[in-house]
Chains A and B, each alone.
Chain A
Amino acid sequence: DTAVSQTPKYLVTQMGNDKSIKCEQNLGHDTMYWYKQDSKKFLKIMFSYNNKELIINETVPNRFSPKSPDKAHLNLHINSLELGDSAVYFCASSHPEETQYFGPGTRLLVL
């Protein structure tokens, strides 16, 4: 059973399009996160939700909007995609201040 799952695995799209990435966890965790990993493997937090409430919002363009319909899901919607958005996006989950478990990643390529 997959603990943290993401869809899609791969996403290739044109500049200017709008796309969404979905994340689900079945670990019963209260907190979920979105991270971005660039081409140099540098992993940086973007957002964090605790019980559907936004608690961390790093300096991310407002084209990125997370949505948490319930504790087990955290989706990421990206408007007007740019070339620089190409990266691997990871979802993670945890109990508050405990270790984070990562999903397999979504590889986004903007052409």
Chain B
Amino acid sequence: QKEVEQDPGPLSVPEGAIVSLNCTYSNSAFQYFMWYRQYSRKGPELLMYTYSSGNKEDGRFTAQVDKSSKYISLFIRDSQPSDSATYLCAMSGLGSSNTGKLIFGQGTTLQVKP
């Protein structure tokens, strides 16, 4: 079993829909949680960064972390065709042995249709 599980999709939604992307994880030591967006043939770019549990909002994007359930989510409101990309969750723990070591989910491919 992978440390981080993410449904690869693809997920297809109409423009304007609310999109929900999720990851589950097994390592309770994870403290930092990130969402990266990767357009086709490009490098991942950071979308959201959360420490520990709670919600964080940035424009149309909301990240949620539920450490008790080992579950993180990314919500996209009013989705646009330009949101079509692969969304990767990533997480890491504290301590020197985990410094900088991001564990990624497989990524969910999202297509927003006009």
Contact = CB atoms under 8 A, between A and B. Distances in A.
Interface in B4-34: 8, 32, 34
Contacts of A94: 100
Given A43-B88, A56-B100, A102 B45 contact: yes
Given A55-B99, A99-B49, A102-B44, A44 B34 contact: no
A31 B86 CA distance: 25
Interface residue range, chain A: 20 to 34
B106 A102 contact: no
A104 B43 CA distance: 4
Contacts of B102: 45, 100
Interface of B: 8, 32, 34, 36, 38, 41-46, 49, 86, 88, 92, 94, 96, 99-102, 104, 106-107, 109
